[in-house]
Amino acid sequence: MRSGNPALNQNTFLDVGSGEVVSRDASQVMTLGGTVNKTGLLLLLCVATAAYTWNLFDPANPGAMMPWMLVGGIGGFIVAIVTVFKKTWSPVTAPVYALLEGLFLGGISAFFEAQFPGIVMQAVMLTLGVLAAMLMAYKSGLIKATENFKLGVVAATGGIALLYVINIGMRMFGFEGMGFIHDSGAMGIAFSLFVVVIAALNLVLDFDFIEAGAEAGAPKYMEWYGAFGLVVTLVWLYLEILRLLAKLQSRD
């Protein structure tokens, strides 16, 4: 089993000691319904804290909510790393991640909304639309998570991550960085569109991976971990759609 999501790799559902999928009785195993419910709960937690930082935004003093954004962004990243390495903690760390990530998303969404009124609702609706479309395509068999498909999506995801890391490193050392990542020109828009497509295809891999875990009888706490992994992808997709819409609107 392979996923482009770093939170969901081929060893996710394996017992650390034996290297084999762990089975439990019917009440103690991962289910699709349980994972869906927990995904919904994590999204609600994320929206709740996003609303908090959103309401803190003041155009006259935009820096006032920066501490909350920093706590959310850095804290969410740390908790995500902990969750990846301590999967058994996911019933606690996954909700904490959602709450922290919401603080960051609410702040950055408010900044975009101040520049481009209406953009946030467009990004939210497009993200939900892509989620529904990918789920239907996966369940109908229109898109199949074959090994070659998985390999291609994982490679593209890794390439995008490498570009972002290099760009951040260049900016830290005073260089201009890769302009097309942020540019609103044709190349910049094409790049953002490509990233959105790859993020959307990662949803298919996540669906397949979660379904495989449920069929394999993974332990119950993996419902929280599967939900966490799916939310990670949705957050990435939302941010990339937000960036793409901003580029498009800045050309008007």
How do residues 31-87 score in pLDDT, each as one tens digit? 999 999 999 999 999 999 999 999 988 877 877 788 999 999 999 999 999 999 999
Torsion of CA 107, 96, 47, 218, to 10 degrees: 140
DSSP state of 60: T
Dihedral sign for Cα 188, 189, 190, 194, please. Answer: positive
Pairwise CA distance, residues 81 & 232, whole Å: 11
Rounded to two decimals, the pTM is: 0.86
Contacts of residue 210, defined as CB under 8 A and 6 or more positions apart, other chains included, come to 8, 32, 35, 226, 229, 230
pLDDT in tens, 92-129: 999 999 999 999 999 999 999 999 999 999 999 999 99
CB atoms under 10 Å from CB of 72, counted, come to 26
Distances (CA, A) of 165 to 94, 136, 158: 25, 33, 11
- Token pair, residue 117, equals 């009124």
Q: Is 171 helix (H, G, I), strand (E, B) or coil?
A: helix
> Cβ(68)–Cβ(56) under 8 Å?
yes
- Token pair, residue 70, equals 């920093």
pLDDT in tens, 201-211: 999 999 998 99
What number is the average pLDDT over the span 233-244?
Answer: 96
H helical segments located in 1-118: 32-56, 66-85, 90-115
pLDDT at 170: 79
